[in-house]
Amino acid sequence: MVKAANLGFPRIGTRRELKKALEAYWKGEADAAALEATGATLRAESWAAQRDAGIKRIPSNDFSFYDQVLDTTAMLGAIPGRFAGLGGFDAYFAMARGTDTAPAMEMTKWFDTNYHYIVPELTADMTFHLANDLPVQRFNEAKAQGIHTRPVLVGPVSWLALGKVKTDGLDPLSLLPDVLAVYAELLGKLAEAGSDWVQIDEPILARDLSEAEARAVRTAYSTLAGKAPEILLATYFGGLGDNLDLATGLPVDGLHVDLVRAPDQLDDVLSQFGDRLLSLGLIDGRNIWRADLTRALGLARQAVDAFGPDRVEVAPSCSLLHVPVDATLETHLDDELRSWLAFARQKLDEVVALARAARKGREAARAAFDAADAAVASRAASARIHDPTVKARADSVSDADMRRSSPHPVRAVEQSARLDLPALPTTTIGSFPQTAEIRNARAANRKGEMSDADYRAFLEERTIECIRRQEALGLDVLVHGEFERNDMVEYFGEQLSGFAFTKNGWVQSYGSRCVKPPMVYGDVSRPSPMTVDWARFAAAQTDRPMKGMLTGPVTILQWSFVRDDQPRAETAKQIALAIRNEVADLEAAGLPIIQIDEAALREGLPLRRSDWPAYLDWAVAAFRLASSPVSDATQIHTHMCYSEFNDILPAIAAMDADVISIETSRSDMELLDAFCDFDYPNQIGPGVWDIHSPRVADETEMVRLLKAAAEWIPADRIWVNPDCGLKTRGWPEVERSLTHLVRAAAQMRQSPNAMASTSS
Ligand code: GLN
Ligand code: ZN
């Protein structure tokens, strides 16, 4: 019987109950028992919802109070020494969030999602033991509710591969045997508790593996497989590619493959993975659109024909953690738009309908298939989605549209004549503190408690004050402060056509933090200017150069749910054209500098290196398209909030921004090593103040960083700025740090050695 299966369900709750419970606990307003109780309720509800939907393979241990990788770390007893002496929730949350004396463990993005996991710390002297048996407890908890679950574990090789080595020279995979011993013990306990199957996630199988990693995968599963419980090895976030032989050759009892991102791998999987259970990831766990069930059924049938109905399961492509919970809550959306959506709960229904149709034919799930076909047809034809003007404009883009009129050195001369800036000009990245006062005013305005006029007047005051403070600090290039913006993507999405917003579409980003990504459902255009008013207002308040601030096309794309009926590249191009209009309007309004932030360009890199060039091609093209309508004398800035882009430096240079500001202070200018191999041709502002820390930036330290930068970059191409925007900081530390920053720049200008390195 083709079974309907699920790999993981959102844990935050329909109304973000987990967030509220966590934050109450952290504030000391609720005790551990209350937090445990909320967790238990959320688990019970999600198990019941899955059972009631008709899911036959229901996951357990997909719940987490913070992160499943951190849970694995805790379970393995791999707790860093600085947290010794703490127990229970105290130790657990200390690892995630830090304490006064012990800094938090690092956090980073989970593959190409916007979910962040807590990075395991690997040291040579670490030992492992089964420190808790939560997976067994959760299995029993569900069993007590009459629900037989399939426990989910983060795989041992992925856990190690995602860890960070803290002992020089340590090979992380050398820890594998000890880690496997703990997994084996756990699996034994699960079997004793009555678990017949477990799901072990090895998402690293969807990315490039080293020989050693591949060997570790073989070792892991020849050690763990062949005993009870049976193992379903789950792969997702892409195709197996050159890991296909490896994955299908493992002695596991079942394999889950992602057929949303990689439908083409089905033939090979079917021919190579014989005689065992195959789980088909047919419903998109990464996006919010209703599935094309007819197409999915074609793939399911192919598998059933080859394997027989008893060895096939139908499932989402990956855990549903990455989509919001319930589209039916979005009652403010019109019926048509809502009919195109499927969040986690609706995806369960899709899985069940698909499994039923795979067993008994389409007629057995006719209503679901008819509705899915209708949604596909209406999306294909809807005038709200398809705007011929946008398509025609995108089709007519020429190479010339993606080029500035002159190369950077020529532009630089014109710009410096126009701007008249000192050497090593100082500036900031855009936002200034979003104080409680500002957030409250925005909330009051949204609720209708503050009139638009009052809100506008309030924002004008804050903006003027921010400009005065920048003048007093002596900054050279000013910004307006971004007080009118809630979020750097949402602000633009709300003003572009083709975007829609949910009210409850929360997705976990990390811990209690959730985001509500915009949905790009149709062709994108800009009905009217989005930032010009504020930019013009700000520029009029001062004699100094003002930067107009925009979010770039790749970042808008990356932080939204995007349509799946055309390539991402095409959507990026449409957004780029909309931003291009804004750039042109800002220039016409007299802004001498326009910054286009591409905070998310790097995180959009595909998991497989072989897919990088194609991505970088269209991503860079989108930026160039957005930024190129201006004259030579208008200076284009961009900003990126990370430093690990040594390997994509040529692409960054190809964006051809006149000035780029980047994060470097946390990595102590490590990035700049790349500049000895690659001569970055334009101007660059290596961040000299780590704004992620509440520490006041130190002047001597900033001078040291600037001198390090001047080793590689001619001083007449260096800017002085913080690492990122200042919206999360408070005014007192901002003023002090910026005072130091301005003084550091002044010191540098005085330093003949540093200034000797110019490009001429
Ligand atoms: N201009 C934005 C700001 O200053 C950039 C933020 C970002 O890069 N994440 O807030
Ligand atoms: Zn940033």
Q: Is 514 helix (H, G, I), strand (E, B) or coil?
A: strand
Give the pLDDT confidence score for residue 678 in this predicted structure: 82
Find the mean pLDDT for residues 341-345: 98
Using alpha carbons only, what angle is made at residue 309 by residues 305 and 315, rounded to the nearest 5 degrees?
100
Give the pLDDT confidence score for residue 693 in this predicted structure: 79
CA dihedral 418, 424, 428, 429 (to 10 degrees): 80
Judge contact between 5 and 57, C-beta under 8 A.
Answer: yes
Ligand 1 centroid, distance to 602 Cα (angstroms): 15
CATH fold, domain 388-394+412-495+530-759, is TIM Barrel (3.20.20)
* Angle separating helix axes 344-360 and 293-307, nearest 10 degrees: 50
* 692 in catalytic set: yes
CA 393 to chain centre: 30
Give the pLDDT confidence score for residue 616 in this predicted structure: 98
H or E segment to which residue 660 belongs: strand 659-662
> What's this model's pTM, rounded to 2 decimal places?
0.95
3-state helix, strand, coil in the chain (%, to 5): 50, 15, 40
109, 428, 429: residue to mutate for ligand 1 pocket, most atoms within 8 A of CB: 429
Q: How far is CA 143 from CA 36, 53, 147, 419, 596, in A?
A: 18, 18, 5, 70, 53
Nearest to 320 by CA among 4, 5, 3, 10: 10
Give the pLDDT confidence score for residue 113 in this predicted structure: 94
**pLDDT tens-digit series, residues 425-442:** 999 999 999 999 999 999
Which CATH class for the 3-381 domain? alpha beta
Ligand 1 centroid, distance to 597 Cα (angstroms): 7
For ligand 1, is residue 641 a contact (CB within 6 Å)?
yes
From the CA of 427, the nearest ligand is 1
Kindly report the protein residue whose alpha carbon is nearest to atom 3 of ligand 1.
Answer: 725
- What is the position in ligand 1's atom list of the atom closest to the CA of 641? 8
List the alpha helices (DSSP H) in 292-425. Answer: 293-307, 335-339, 344-360, 366-381, 388-395, 408-419
Judge contact between 153 and 135, C-beta under 8 A.
Answer: yes
Who has greater pLDDT, 100 or 748? 748
* Angle separating helix axes 366-381 and 293-307, nearest 10 degrees: 130
List the alpha helices (DSSP H) in 174-325. Answer: 176-193, 211-224, 244-248, 266-272, 293-307
**pLDDT tens-digit series, residues 119-162:** 999 999 999 999 999 999 999 999 999 999 999 999 999 999 99
Q: Is 245 helix (H, G, I), strand (E, B) or coil?
A: helix
Give the pLDDT confidence score for residue 275 in this predicted structure: 86
From the CA of 597, the nearest ligand is 1
Ligand 1 centroid, distance to 431 Cα (angstroms): 6
**Spatial distance between the Cα atoms of 379 and 118, rounded to a whole number of angstroms:** 39
Who has greater pLDDT, 107 or 541? 541
For ligand 1, is residue 430 a contact (CB within 6 Å)?
yes
Tell the residue number behind the tokens 């961009």, with chain if given. 638
Average pLDDT, the chain: 95
**pLDDT tens-digit series, residues 609-639:** 999 999 999 999 999 999 999 999 999 999 9
Say if strands 683-686 and 659-662 run parallel, antiparallel, or are unpaired.
Answer: parallel
**For the chain, percent of residues with pLDDT exceeding 90:** 91
Nearest to 223 by CA among 162, 176, 163: 176
- What is the position in ligand 1's atom list of the atom closest to the CA of 727? 10
Name the token pair of 390: 């946008």
Ligand 1 centroid, distance to 547 Cα (angstroms): 13
For ligand 1, is residue 431 a contact (CB within 6 Å)?
yes
482, 724, 726, 727: residue to mutate for ligand 1 pocket, most atoms within 8 A of CB: 724
Who has greater pLDDT, 100 or 738? 738
Ligand 1 centroid, distance to 112 Cα (angstroms): 21
Kindly report the protein residue whose alpha carbon is nearest to atom 9 of ligand 1.
Answer: 599
Q: How far is CA 343 from CA 50, 116, 662, in A?
A: 13, 20, 36
Judge contact between 301 and 321, C-beta under 8 A.
Answer: no
For ligand 1, is residue 725 a contact (CB within 6 Å)?
yes
Judge contact between 556 and 493, C-beta under 8 A.
Answer: yes
**Spatial distance between the Cα atoms of 476 and 482, rounded to a whole number of angstroms:** 18
Of 74-83, 326-335, 659-668, the range with the lowest mean pLDDT is 659-668
Give the pLDDT confidence score for residue 760 in this predicted structure: 46
From the CA of 552, the nearest ligand is 1
Judge contact between 604 and 554, C-beta under 8 A.
Answer: yes
Ligand 1 centroid, distance to 629 Cα (angstroms): 23
- What is the position in ligand 1's atom list of the atom closest to the CA of 595? 1
**Spatial distance between the Cα atoms of 490 and 458, rounded to a whole number of angstroms:** 21
Q: Is 519 helix (H, G, I), strand (E, B) or coil?
A: strand
Nearest to 128 by CA among 66, 188, 74, 89: 74
Tell the residue number behind the tokens 């493959």, with chain if given. 257
Give the pLDDT confidence score for residue 664 in this predicted structure: 80
Judge contact between 72 and 201, C-beta under 8 A.
Answer: no
Using alpha carbons only, what angle is made at residue 366 by residues 365 and 370, rounded to the nearest 5 degrees?
125
Nearest to 138 by CA among 146, 128, 149: 149
Judge contact between 346 and 287, C-beta under 8 A.
Answer: no
**pLDDT tens-digit series, residues 637-681:** 999 987 677 789 999 999 999 999 998 866 666 666 777 778 889
Give the pLDDT confidence score for residue 339 in this predicted structure: 96
Judge contact between 279 and 272, C-beta under 8 A.
Answer: no
Nearest to 742 by CA among 473, 544, 478, 420: 473
Kindly report the protein residue whose alpha carbon is nearest to atom 8 of ligand 1.
Answer: 599
SS3 for 72-87 is HHHHCCCCCHHHCCCC
Q: Quick one: 100 exposed, middle or buried, by C-beta within 10 A (0-12, 13-18, 19+)?
A: exposed
The domain limits of the chain are 3-381, 388-394+412-495+530-759
From the CA of 430, the nearest ligand is 1
Kindly report the protein residue whose alpha carbon is nearest to atom 10 of ligand 1.
Answer: 725
Ligand 1 centroid, distance to 303 Cα (angstroms): 47
**pLDDT tens-digit series, residues 570-588:** 999 999 999 999 999 999 9
Who has greater pLDDT, 754 or 236? 236
For ligand 1, is residue 598 a contact (CB within 6 Å)?
no
Q: How confident is the model at residue 304 (pLDDT cuts 50, 70, 90)?
A: very high
Kindly report the protein residue whose alpha carbon is nearest to atom 5 of ligand 1.
Answer: 725
Q: How far is CA 557 from CA 487, 499, 542, 562, in A?
A: 14, 11, 34, 7
For ligand 1, is residue 724 a contact (CB within 6 Å)?
yes
Whether 20 has a pLDDT exceeding 80, the answer reads yes
